[in-house]
Structure 1
């Protein structure tokens, strides 16, 4: 049996999952930036969305194995 290599662009790589999570967090934070939310709340939203996105993508990737 030969071992199949994952594409470096797939979500199998931790760096790609982190990049996706950061992009999702920044997108949501920018959308919240148009509102009158304080900066501290926007940062918390960015971190929360990024963390949830990373966890969700990681769980979905592991369940496919």
Structure 2
């Protein structure tokens, strides 16, 4: 069997999934920054969105592989 060459930009690499999660979390946190939410709430939002994004992309990647 020949091994497929996967793009280094694909979401098969953990670092790319982490980067996508950080960018999504930071984007939502910046959008919340324009509101009157306290900073700790904004940090929680960043972590929840980032963690959720990472989990979703990882689950989708694993289900596609099967």
* Common fold: TM-score over 0.5: yes
List gaps (5 residues or longer) in structure 1: none
List gaps (5 residues or longer) in structure 2: none
TM-score (norm 1): 0.98
1:32 equivalent in structure 2:
32
| Count, aligned residues | 65
Which whole-Å CA distance do the structure 2 matches of 1:59 and 1:6 have between them?
Answer: 18
TM-score (norm 2): 0.96
RMSD after superposition: 0.5
What SS does the aligned partner of 1:37 have?
Answer: coil
